[in-house]
């Protein structure tokens, strides 16, 4: 489904506004949250299993991209950055996503391997925050996911020097069209570039948030019993990976 965005295809400077002072109007923007109450006793003992239950609820509620999440990182000086990415897997190890290793987020995760994830499911008035240690997934796992992507997405990952200055959109488009044509003719088969692959966030704590009236929200935090790093993954098989133990408690709103 195509969605028409206000101002798309136009010169933004030429847009005519409605006269509404959005900067002031936003002060009064609010909604009443109401969800089924949750407590430490009502949630699963395993936060990863509980997350899957809530993610399934978001899918069934037809949330727009329920796997979308904010990824917050920090560089080696502690300067924070955040952006939206897509969750591409969750298992006993943690939360998995894929990106360009040479991008800003890739460099920051390599130099300072900690991250926080935030999920927001508006129709359910629910949010989940995850904080943990980060490591790269095995190459074989990145290869498998890369090969499952649409051809256009594969080529996009190959030709993009993500986060670097773009001097010519036309040249980028021409390179994309050239490789797409070669693929169609059987003269080119995309292969995962070394600069692209997956990361996994191994959670140290996970917080579940359920919106409630009068801002008296339900907050349940799971904290891992030890902060010792789990052994790095050696392959994509997660069946033999033990789920870490967590404690859980309710927090003030």
Beta strands in 89-125 (DSSP E): 89-91, 94-100, 114-121
Residues 6+ apart with CB under 8 A from 55: 66, 67, 90, 119
Beta bridge partners of 96: 89, 200
CB atoms within 10 A of CB 170: 8
- Among the listed residues 131, 130, 116, 142, the one whose alpha carbon sits nearest the alpha carbon of residue 199: 142
For residue 157, give every residue at least 6 positions away whose Cβ sits within 8 Å of its Cβ, in sequence order, or none.
100, 146, 149, 192, 193, 196
Catalytic residues: 215
3-state secondary structure of 173: helix
């Amino acid at each position: 489904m195509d969605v028409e965005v206000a101002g798309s295809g136009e010169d933004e400077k030429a847009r005519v506004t409605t006269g509404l002072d959005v900067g002031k109007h936003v002060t009064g923007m609010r909604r009443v949250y109401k969800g089924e109450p949750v407590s430490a006793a009502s949630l699963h003992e395993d936060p990863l299993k509980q997350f899957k239950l809530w993610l399934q609820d978001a899918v069934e509620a037809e949330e727009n991209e329920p796997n979308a999440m904010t990824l917050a990182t920090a560089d080696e000086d502690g300067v924070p950055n955040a952006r939206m990415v897509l969750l591409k897997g969750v298992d006993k190890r943690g939360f998995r996503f894929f990106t360009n290793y040479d991008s800003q987020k890739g460099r920051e995760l390599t130099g300072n391997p900690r991250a926080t994830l935030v999920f927001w499911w508006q129709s359910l008035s629910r949010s989940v925050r995850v904080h943990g240690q980060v490591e790269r997934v095995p190459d074989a796992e990145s290869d498998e996911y890369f090969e499952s992507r649409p051809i256009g997405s594969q080529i996009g990952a190959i030709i993009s020097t993500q986060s670097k200055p773009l001097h010519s959109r036309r040249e980028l488009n021409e390179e994309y069209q050239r490789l797409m044509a070669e693929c169609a003719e059987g003269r080119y088969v995309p292969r995962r570039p070394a600069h692209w692959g997956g990361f996994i966030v191994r959670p140290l704590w996970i917080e579940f948030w359920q919106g409630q009236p009068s801002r008296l929200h339900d907050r349940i935090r799971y904290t891992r019993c030890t902060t010792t790093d789990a052994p790095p993954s050696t392959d994509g098989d997660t069946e033999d990976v033990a789920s870490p133990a967590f404690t859980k408690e309710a927090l003030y709103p």
